Amino acid sequence: MSGGFGDDALGDAPGAGGRTGPAAHDGQAAGAAFPVAADGGVRGGGVGLTDRFRTRDGGPDDGPPARRAPRRGGGDPVKGLLHLHRDLCEQAVDPFEIAAGLEAHGLTDRTAARFRHRDVFSLAEEMFARAEHTMPAAPTRASAPPARTAAPRAVRTALPLRAAAPGAVCALALAATAVTDGGQRFAAGAAGALATGLALLYALRWGPLRARGRRAPAATRLWTLWLLGYAACGQGLIAEIAGGGPEGRVPLTASPLLALAVAVVPATWCAHLFAVRAGRRIAYSRGLEEFAAGTRPLLLAVVALHTTVLTGLVLSAAAVLPGADGAAAPAVALGTLLFLARLLIAHGFPGPASAALATACAVEAAVPALLLTGRLPGVGLVARPAELLVAAWGTAAVPVLACAGAALALLVHACTVLVRASAHTP
């Protein structure tokens, strides 16, 4: 990671190159999913796609297409689909980009069969051949440029420095609290927490973890703050409540926060690796299924790599800072959850990420709430499950159960949505 993330740290991967030509296939007429009118058009408005996949509203096709296939008997269903996705087809540089847009719109191989094509990519090839293009065609595979354009040296150097900012600020804040006491220590801790949060926001505004053209739900920041706060004092709070307290000050554990702040660097690098490799697969895949089959192992490998590096950072922080007993497993589970959530947000799926974070927060809040509720007369049975969990597995079981369960659910969802070509197409 010395010096930057490579010449292709910024920018977007191009689509596949060198695949043109119509691929029409005779078969059944268009079915109910996209009803065909008598003149060969598609009845109904249909919701257009966003960004590059947005469709035009309005009347009939104004300009003559560059190349039109001869009309088939019984109407031409592809003509209506071309009109519905005119912007996508005109701006596409290769058939794979059209296939990704159709996939994002929900069109499957079964639906493509109703348009007389064996799969979505075959349908996209005909649409690409018949569309009037406004973008230059993609270069052939032999002369294709690297997957991403080279960024200026200053930008490539600034990217890892931004990613390292949260860890550096957090380390300075912990050092300041270690040499102060009383009110000065509290002020140093509060200022350090605020500075670390701002450094994290600064790091996430650029690079592969940024939310490109989208904003994460506002509640996501609230859930993240809760989870980080629980990592610092949640286990101590549960131990105090289970012992009849809390009495006095709740103990804080700083090592998980330091490890998670430093882990922004490997998280950024792993997200960059996933984006670049997936972008290259777009350029050389022959269909959507082939792309998904090759991207799914890549996603699992990137998550495993990040978890391994995160585990090393957590253990190192626990060895340096005192009071980190039992905090390693919860910190690894939380770091993996935050990485998967941010990866989904960066690729345009903020809803599932926010839901998973909220679920983890709810589980973590439920255990101390149940323990406190069980002190009321006549409702002691309510706290029994939480008491058994803490007695059998310790206070660390609560954040591990909450964060690991949510992370596993996000990983399953990511293996479905992040392997789509539409998730990697601008």
332 pLDDT band (50/70/90 cuts)? very high
- Based on the fold, state whether residues 293 and 331 are members of the same structural domain: yes
**pLDDT computed for residue 36 by the predictor:** 39
What digits encode the pLDDT tens for the residues 72-123?
A: 444 666 666 766 666 666 656 566 666 666 666 666 666 666 676 666 666 6
337 pLDDT band (50/70/90 cuts)? very high
- 99-108, 198-207, 282-291, 390-399: least confident range: 99-108
Residue 5 counted as domain residue: no
Residue 4 counted as domain residue: no
Residue 76 counted as domain residue: yes
- Give the mean pLDDT of 282-297: 78
- Between the CA atoms of 366, 371, 376 and 381, what dihedral angle is there, to the nearest 10 degrees? 90
For residue 123, what are its two tokens? 């349908």
- Based on the fold, state whether residues 222 and 256 are members of the same structural domain: yes
- Residue 63 above 70 pLDDT? no
**pLDDT computed for residue 83 by the predictor:** 64
- Give the mean pLDDT of 396-420: 93
**pLDDT computed for residue 190 by the predictor:** 87
Residue 239 counted as domain residue: yes
Q: Which residue has the tokens 């539409």?
A: 422
Domain tally, the chain: 2
- Give the mean pLDDT of 12-40: 39
- Based on the fold, state whether residues 236 and 299 are members of the same structural domain: yes
264 pLDDT band (50/70/90 cuts)? very high
Most confident residue range from 131-145, 150-164, 403-417: 403-417
Burial (CB count within 10 angstroms: exposed 0-12, middle 13-18, buried 19+), residue 215: exposed
- 35-39, 269-273, 381-385: least confident range: 35-39
Cβ atoms of 22 and 123 closer than 8 Å: no
Q: Following DSSP, what letter does each residue of 327-372 receive, concatenated?
A: -HHHHHHHHHHHHHHHHHHHTT-HHHHHHHHHHHHHHHHHHHHHHH
- Based on the fold, state whether residues 117 and 162 are members of the same structural domain: no
- Based on the fold, state whether residues 246 and 358 are members of the same structural domain: yes
- Based on the fold, state whether residues 131 and 166 are members of the same structural domain: no
Percent of the chain scored above 90 by pLDDT?
A: 26
Tell me phi and psi for residue 390, to 5 degrees.
Answer: -70, -40
**pLDDT computed for residue 328 by the predictor:** 87
Residue 389 counted as domain residue: yes
Partners of residue 42 on adjacent β-strands: 36
Chosen domain end from 137, 161, 191: 137
- Based on the fold, state whether residues 105 and 189 are members of the same structural domain: no
**pLDDT computed for residue 55 by the predictor:** 36
Residue 1 counted as domain residue: no
CA distance 168 to 71: 65
**pLDDT computed for residue 330 by the predictor:** 92
- Based on the fold, state whether residues 343 and 418 are members of the same structural domain: yes
Domain that residue 95 falls in: 19-137
- Give the mean pLDDT of 194-201: 90
Chosen domain end from 71, 105, 137: 137
- Residue 251 above 90 pLDDT? no
Cβ atoms of 137 and 93 closer than 8 Å: yes
- Based on the fold, state whether residues 225 and 264 are members of the same structural domain: yes
What digits encode the pLDDT tens for the residues 362-375?
A: 999 999 999 888 88
**pLDDT computed for residue 52 by the predictor:** 40
Residues 6+ apart with CB under 8 A from 355: none
User: Mean pLDDT in the chain?
Assistant: 74
Residue 142 counted as domain residue: no
Residues 6+ apart with CB under 8 A from 251: 233, 236, 323
- Based on the fold, state whether residues 233 and 346 are members of the same structural domain: yes
CA distance 71 to 51: 31
- Based on the fold, state whether residues 120 and 239 are members of the same structural domain: no
What digits encode the pLDDT tens for the residues 300-331?
A: 999 999 999 999 999 998 888 876 677 789 99
Residue 14 counted as domain residue: no
- Based on the fold, state whether residues 374 and 314 are members of the same structural domain: yes
**pLDDT computed for residue 342 by the predictor:** 93
Chosen domain end from 106, 137, 168: 137
297 or 292: which leads in pLDDT: 297
Tally Cβ neighbours within 10 Å of residue 406.
27
Burial (CB count within 10 angstroms: exposed 0-12, middle 13-18, buried 19+), residue 211: middle
For residue 184, what are its two tokens? 């000065």
CA distance 411 to 414: 5
